[in-house]
Amino acid sequence: MPVQEMVLIALAAFGAGAINVVAGSGTLITFPTLIAFGYPPVVATMSNAVGLTVGSMTGVWGYRRELSGQWSRLKWQIPAVLLGALIGSFLLLHLPEKTFVTVVPVLLILALVLVVVGPKIQAWARRRSEAQGRDADHVPPGRMAALTGGNFLVGIYGGYFTAAQGIMQIAVMGALLPESMQRMNAAKNVLAMITNIVAALAYTIVAFDRVSWTAAGIIATGSFLGGLAGARWGAGCPRRAACGHRRGRPDRPVATALLTGPVSSTGAVDLTGAVDLTGAVDTPRCDLSCE
DSSP 275: -
pTM value > 0.75: no
| pLDDT the model gives residue 70 | 85
CB 129 within 8 A of CB 179: yes
Q: Please choose, from the candidates 226, 153, 162, 160, the residue with its C-alpha nearest in 3D space to the C-alpha of residue 193.
A: 162
Residues contacting residue 39 through CB under 8 Å, at least 6 positions apart = 47, 212, 215
State how far the Cα of 74 lies from the Cα of 255, in Å rounded to an integer.
33
Q: What is the DSSP letter of 269?
A: B
pLDDT band at 255 (very low <50, low <70, confident <90, very high): very low
Domain layout of the chain by residue ranges: 3-256
How does DSSP classify residue 282? P
Percentage of the chain exceeding pLDDT 70: 75
Q: Would you state the pLDDT for residue 106?
A: 84
What is the C-alpha separation between 148 and 154, in angstroms, rounded?
Answer: 10
Helix (H, G, I), strand (E, B) or coil at 263: strand
Do 32 and 262 form a contact (C-beta atoms < 8 A)? no
Beta-bridge partner residues of 250:
245
* Whole-angstrom distance, CA of residue 189 vs CA of residue 96: 30
User: Residue 130: its pLDDT value, please?
Assistant: 66
User: Is 198:52 a contact under the CB 8 Å cutoff?
Assistant: no
DSSP-assigned states of every residue in 220-253: HHHHHHHHHHHHHHHHH-HHHHHHTEETTEE-HH
pLDDT tens by residue, 172-231: 887 787 777 788 888 999 999 999 999 999 999 999 999 999 999 999 999 999 988 887
For residues 39 and 268, give the distance between their C-alpha atoms in angstroms, rounded to a whole number: 9
pLDDT band, residue 118 (cuts 50/70/90): low
- What percentage of the chain's residues is helix, strand, coil (to nearest 5)? 75, 0, 25
Structure confidence at residue 126 (pLDDT): 65
pLDDT for 7-27, tens place per residue?
999 999 999 998 888 877 788
10 Å Cβ neighbour count for 139?
Answer: 20
